[in-house]
Amino acid sequence: MILVPIIAVLAGFALSAILKLGPVTGTAGIYLGVACLAGLDTMFGGIRSGMEGKFQNDVFISGFIVNVLIAFSVAWMGDNIGQNLVLVAALVFGMRIFSNLGVIRRFVVTKWHDELVRRREQAEKAAQTQNSQANS
């Protein structure tokens, strides 16, 4: 069910558009930004696992909640001890997002390439069949 993460993101965008929330500034904006990165990481991880045939709704939902809570907690803890741990969370989630996107890209390109090879082989078989029928 690869559509679950995509639908979740679209629902979030729709909800924010319907509620017409203004810009979030200050510390809350920083926490929300880190939470969004955690959510994107979970979404791309869900798409990746769906393409690999390993997607499970409960793992996706629990991963989303845990990632957002951990990201928020790390950012909050960093503020309380005087360290900018938001950058650490952004770096980690950013690396995971790009890693998942790389796997998704390779999967799509490989699938596309395999489809081209399959079509080429079918065309060659059809041409061979026509040639053998014409020679008979």
pLDDT digit string, tens, across residues 90-101: 899 999 999 999
CA proximity to 42, closest of 91, 3, 112, 93:
93
Residues 28-44: pLDDT tens digits? 888 888 888 998 899 89
pTM: 0.73
Burial level of 80, CB count in 10 A (0-12/13-18/19+)? exposed
Torsion sign, CA atoms 9, 13, 19, 23: positive
